[in-house]
Amino acid sequence: MTAAFHPGATTVLDSVLFRDAFGTPAMRAVFGDLAYLARCTEVEVALARAQGRLGVIPAAAAAAIEQHASADALDLERLRRETDIVGYPILPLVHQLVEQCGEAGRWLHWGATTQDIMDSAVVLQLRAALALVEADIAELRRLLAALALRHRDTPMAGRTHLQQALPTTFGAKAAVWLAMFDRHAERLAQLRPRVLVGQFAGAAGTLASLGEQGLAVQQALMDELGLGVPATPWHVARDGLAEAVNFLALVTGSLGKIALDVMIMASTEFGELQEPYVAGRGASSTMPQKRNPISSELMLAASKAVRQHAGLMLDAMVQDFERATGPWHAEWIAVPESFVLSAGALHQARFMLGGLEVDAGRMQRNLGLTGGLIVAEAVMMGLAPHLGRQPAHDLVYAACRDAVQQGAPLAQVLQRRPEVTAHLDAAAIERLTDPARYLGQAPQIVDRALARSAAQGRG
């Protein structure tokens, strides 16, 4: 067994087999144990530095804490054992940091409570994690904008209820995808001030242990950490973290929608799209011809998992009094897993959309599968000024039924009906039954989406 394999791994997030399919090294680094302990230590040191500056603790003690407190020097096995006993990692962490700092250690964690440190550390993680998400969204917007522009005028069948409905363009479909991620970029900018807010309020949220200096210490600590100052303690008001995870659910939900479109369009019967070719990717162990849409499958799976965590975060908002008796712990599961899964899905989307193969010829052939039935609306609207909308609808409906039963093109059936030819000549019928002539405003919708996306900026 090689050193890379860890027999204790039990989830796709830590499995050496699956972790890079469902996550990324960069996001795992943000939420790994060592990174978390480093963020907790960062908060403890920032607190000492803030209190030393305000004279709450001796300046020399604050300097010694800053110099000696080190997450890298922690005895992790001892920390694990004590955390298992206490139930939280902060008291065991403080024990070791106090020892590291010698005499100055008596001033460490002054006036703080466990959740102050843990919550602020998580917010520091969120700040780094959201920066990674932002970069991925910016790149996806660039890829989708290029796709929409390149295929602005590429006609294809638009589908509703899995049936061909009306013609559209593949560029218009990509523009819909782009607009979703434009909105996600906007949401991300809006949620940051609400989510990136630190926590420091003491045992029951009153800062009583620091007397009149409590709010000043809180402000100074947040200045040190570069975080927002809370209007009130949020020990049991968890809407900020719930918003962050539900934002990820929206992002991965959009990825899931794109993935589903791509998977169906890549099916043999459609054949309109293919994920980028990589030798062996998506291969079957028994069917040599297979080229499965692996990235789309992973995106869809991640969207379902993050959705579940979003619900868990909403449930965890219901907390009792000034310190919860359990819901908080659910966040320890949902927050890191949601971010790692989202990062994995975004990574798969960047790969897939960056090399997506679009078969415009197959789209054109599929557009002609119904022999003109896909533009029956155009014929109806062409007849409506002469007959009225409903009579025209009924006439074309009957003609469509005849075309299906006879296996004939719609234009041919229409040309045999006097009530049609009385108003439309053969050229008009051919024009109205040509799908490429009934794209509506699809190309112009692409133009508008691209203009709005460019005006918003893509990072």
pLDDT tens column, 393-450 = 999 899 889 989 999 998 898 899 899 899 989 999 899 989 999 999 999 999 999 9
In the predicted model, what is the mean pLDDT of the chain? 92
Task: Give me the catalytic one of 6, 209, 267, 284.
Answer: 284
User: Between vectors from CA 444 to CA 438 and to CA 448, what angle results, nearest 5°?
Assistant: 150
CATH 3.40.190.10 fits 373-433, yes or no: no
Per-residue pLDDT of 247-274, as tens digits, reads 999 999 999 999 999 999 999 999 999 9
Give me the pLDDT at residue 1, please: 44
Task: Tell me where in the chain the CATH 1.10.275.10 domain(s) lie.
Answer: 21-112+204-222
The tens digit of pLDDT for each residue in 292-324 reads 889 999 999 999 999 999 999 999 999 999 888
CATH of 127-199+234-366, one of 3.40.50.720, 1.10.10.10, 1.20.200.10, 3.30.160.100: 1.20.200.10
> Helix 90-101 crosses helix 33-54 at what angle (to 10 degrees)?
60
Q: Which helix H or strand E contains 358, and what residues bound it?
A: strand 357-358
Reported as a single tens digit per residue, the pLDDT across 78-133 is: 999 999 999 999 999 999 999 999 999 999 999 999 999 999 999 999 999 999 99
Distance in angstroms (rounded) separating the CA atoms of residues 142 and 252? 18
151 is catalytic: no
347: annotated active-site residue: no
* Angle between helical axes of 114-150 and 90-101 (0-180°, round to 10): 110
- Residue 9, burial from CB neighbour count under 10 angstroms (0-12, 13-18, 19+): middle
pLDDT in tens, 170-201: 999 999 999 999 999 999 999 999 999 999 99
Residue 457 has pLDDT above 90, yes or no: no
pLDDT band at 4 (very low <50, low <70, confident <90, very high): low
**CATH 1.10.40.30 region(s) of the chain?**
373-433
pLDDT given for residue 326 in this prediction: 80
Q: Which of 233, 231, 246 is nearest to 321 (CA)?
A: 233
Task: Pull the structure tokens for residue 413.
Answer: 């059936």
CA dihedral 294, 12, 135, 191 (to 10 degrees): 120
Domain 21-112+204-222 adopts which CATH fold? Fumarase C; Chain B, domain 1 (1.10.275)
Q: Kindly report the CA angle at 319 between 109 and 199, in degrees rounded to 5?
A: 30
pLDDT interval class at 8 (50, 70, 90): confident
Percent of residues, the chain, with pLDDT higher than 70: 95
d(CA 194, CA 398): 58
pLDDT tens digits for range 327-344? 889 999 999 999 999 999
| pLDDT 10s digits, 268-297 | 999 999 998 876 665 455 555 557 889 999
Please list the residue range(s) of the chain that carry CATH number 1.20.200.10: 127-199+234-366
Contact yes or no for 445/453 (Cβ under 8 A): no
Helix axes 214-225, 114-150, angle to 10 degrees: 40
What is the pLDDT averaged over residues 345-360? 96
